[in-house]
Amino acid sequence: MKFAVIGLGSFGSNIAKTLYEKNNEV
């Protein structure tokens, strides 16, 4: 379970980072 949570957290932070960078571009 812990590994799944860590994986989701990493995946979520990647999406947040991508959205943040896209917002900065525009």
Say whether pLDDT at 21 is over 80.
Answer: yes
Q: Which residue has the higher pLDDT, 16 or 8?
A: 16
Q: Which domain holds residue 13?
A: 1-25
Residue 26 has pLDDT above 70, yes or no: no
List pLDDT tens digits, range 4-14: 677 777 888 89
Distances (CA, A) of 21 to 3, 8, 9, 13, 26: 27, 20, 18, 12, 9
**What's the total number of domains in the chain?**
1
* Euclidean distance between CA atoms 16 and 26, whole angstroms: 16
